[in-house]
Amino acid sequence: MSDAIVESAAATAGDKETGASRFVRACLRRPVDRTPVWFLRQAGRYMPEYMAVRKHHSLLEICRTPEIAAEVTITAAERLDVDAAIIFADLLLPFTPMGLDFEFVAGEGPVVHTPVRTLEHVKALRTDRVEELQYVARAIEKVATHFSAPRADGDTLGIIGFCGAPWTLAGYMIEGGKQGGGDRNYIETKKMMYSYGPAWSLLMEKIVTVLVAYVQQQIEAGADVIQVFDSWVGKLSVRDYRQYCLGWTTELVQRIKALGVPVIYFGVETASLLPAMSETGADVIGLDWRTPLEEGWKAVGAGCAVQGNLDPIALFAQEDVLKEQVREILNGAAGRPGHIFNLGHGIVPGTPVENVIRVVELVRELSAR
Ligand code: CP3
């Protein structure tokens, strides 16, 4: 018997006692009966049920009304029959109690009205009103109650809370305007960062303080795992990430882990950044779709679990291509404990729901041990 199998058998016996879900076990690199699967942005605009709710409520209304946020979260997880539900919220919600006004402008994404550009602006940011974000925790409680009973296969659904990473949130705060386009150079953000003066360090410190308190509310409400989104970390060189961001991100990850839950750390265009990202000590690294899974796993090291990483646009492909790509990702993981199947970035509007459901079926079929 190989060492891996001996280790598997021992860990499985322990897990039966802890009763952790398949998803949480995979985050901790424990053996599972099959690869757990969920999707980034699984409750988004591609889904008719979400659009029906969206007709009557703005994005922020949905986020700030626990009944509606819980309903949207539950509907998506049940329709897709995935192994984890990510709470419906947005990265930018903590801006409001920090004193930064923003809105979602149709076709433009988030806009911060008075961007943070000076030390005085940073000093004015509040860190003492995180209680105002309790609506997210109330929504998590509702989702956790709904999914408290095991499903037909005996497994309990994992519940994911989330927050942004310091770099990605600072980018929205400092740039202020249209975000998410590949054309953005992050000039203002990098100017503040390169000065590495009191403005950058105070901003990073305030963001971490707010996020730890916010995430603690989510965990107390029932989040099993926290995902940290560093969506725009790929805009940084490895040297700049190491010099200006890694320390703060590590502090955030370590303080969340100290609250007793596994952390998934996800970024986009991270091929060169993966070894540094794994130094945060995150339990799981989310791989973007550009890196072959096996290569990505090598880059983060065997001490980390990995999540990913189908190209979200492959969901527009026909059955044989979809099956081939799902199979390749599962082959890349080779049944080693510690793989969570996901996309390598969020589902985009227009994605056929039936193809998303088909991927869940394929993962089940092809990964059963
Ligand atoms: O997975 C889910 O169930 C959705 C929950 C969710 C939302 N935002 C709701 C949302 C999550 C996990 C997020 C995180 C988030 N928010 C990220 C990181 C995720 C990633 O893809 O990297 C980022 C970068 C943001 C900031 C943000 N929010 C942007 C850039 C936009 C505009 C995007 C667009 O296409 O317009 C949003 C809006 C937003 N947040 C939408 C949803 C479902 C779509 C807009 C809507 O419904 O009106």
Closest atom of ligand 1 relative to the 108 alpha carbon: 36
CB neighbourhood size of 369 (10 A): 9
User: Whole-number mean pLDDT of the chain?
Assistant: 93
**196-200, 204-208, 253-257, 319-323: least confident range:** 196-200
For the stretch 157-196, pLDDT in tens is 999 999 999 999 999 999 997 654 445 899 999 999 999 7
| Sheet arrangement for strand 225-230 | 84-86, 158-164, 225-230, 263-267, 284-286, 305-310, 339-343
Both tokens of 99, joined, read: 């004193």
Locate the ligand 1 atom nearest the alpha carbon of residue 348 and give its number: 35
Residues 235-245: tens digit of each pLDDT: 999 999 999 99
Q: What is the 346 CA–ligand 1 centroid distance (Å)?
A: 8
Q: Name, in order, each residue with C-beta under 8 angstroms of 320's C-beta and a sequence gap of 6 or more.
A: none
* Token couple for 33: 């009966």
345 known ligand binder? yes
pLDDT of residue 14 exceeding 50, the answer is no
pLDDT tier at 20, thresholds 50, 70, 90: confident
Q: How far apart are CA 170 and CA 245, in angstroms?
A: 11
Residues 224-237 have pLDDT tens digits of 999 999 999 999 99
**Pairing relation of β-strands 109-112 and 158-164?**
unpaired
What is the whole-number distance in angstroms between the Cα of residue 90 and the centre of ligand 1? 6
Whose Cα sits closest to atom 34 in ligand 1? 109
What is the token pair recorded at 162? 């989330």
Write down the residue that tokens 């963001």 correspond to: 207
Contact by Cβ (8 Å): 271, 222: no
Unique residue bearing structure tokens 């901003």: 203
Give residue 198 CA to ligand 1 midpoint distance, Å.
31
- Residue 26, marked binder: no
* pLDDT on residue 3: 40
Protein residues whose CB sits closer than 6 Å to any atom of ligand 1: 40-45, 54, 59, 76, 86, 88, 90-92, 104, 109-110, 162, 179-180, 229, 231, 345-346
Q: Is 186 annotated as a binding residue?
A: no
**pLDDT tens profile 101-117:** 999 988 888 999 999 99
Q: Ligand 1 atom 43: the closest Cα is on which residue?
A: 44
Instruction: Calculate how far, in angstroms, residue 92's C-alpha sits from the geometric centre of ligand 1.
Output: 9
pLDDT, tens digit, for every residue of 321-350?
999 999 999 999 999 999 999 999 999 999
> Which pLDDT does position 191 carry in this prediction?
95
Cite the DSSP H helix spans in 227-349. 238-240, 246-257, 274-278, 293-300, 319-333
Q: Indicate the pTM of the whole model.
A: 0.94
Q: Scanning the structure block, which residue is given the tokens 């400092």? A: 174
Q: Which residue has the least CA distance to atom 31 on ligand 1?
A: 109
Mean pLDDT over residues 123-138, rounded? 98
Nearest-atom index, ligand 1, CA of 266: 22
340 bridge partner residues: 307
pLDDT band at 6 (very low <50, low <70, confident <90, very high): very low
pLDDT band at 208 (very low <50, low <70, confident <90, very high): very high
- Whether 18 has a pLDDT exceeding 70, the answer reads no
Q: Is the pLDDT of residue 36 over 90?
A: yes
* Token output for 3: 């060492």
Residue nearest ligand 1's atom 4 by CA: 41
- pLDDT tens sequence across 259-283: 999 999 999 999 999 999 999 999 9
Q: How far apart are the CA of 148 and the centre of ligand 1, in A?
A: 26
Distance 130 CA to ligand 1 centre (A): 21
Q: Report CA-CA distances (Å) from 61 to 56, 76, 100, 124, 246.
A: 10, 18, 17, 26, 34
Rounded Cα distance, 194 and 255, in Å: 26
Task: Count CB neighbours of 180 within 10 A.
Answer: 12
pLDDT above 70 for 42: yes
Residue 249: pLDDT band (50, 70, 90) is very high
**Which residue's CA is the closest to the ligand 1 atom numbered 33?**
109
Checking if the pLDDT of 17 tops 60, the result is no
Residue 45 known to bind ligand? yes
CA–CA gap between residue 258 and residue 60 (Å, rounded): 30
pLDDT band at 5 (very low <50, low <70, confident <90, very high): very low
Q: Using CA atoms in the order 244, 245, 248, 252, what is the torsion angle rounded to 10 degrees?
A: 180
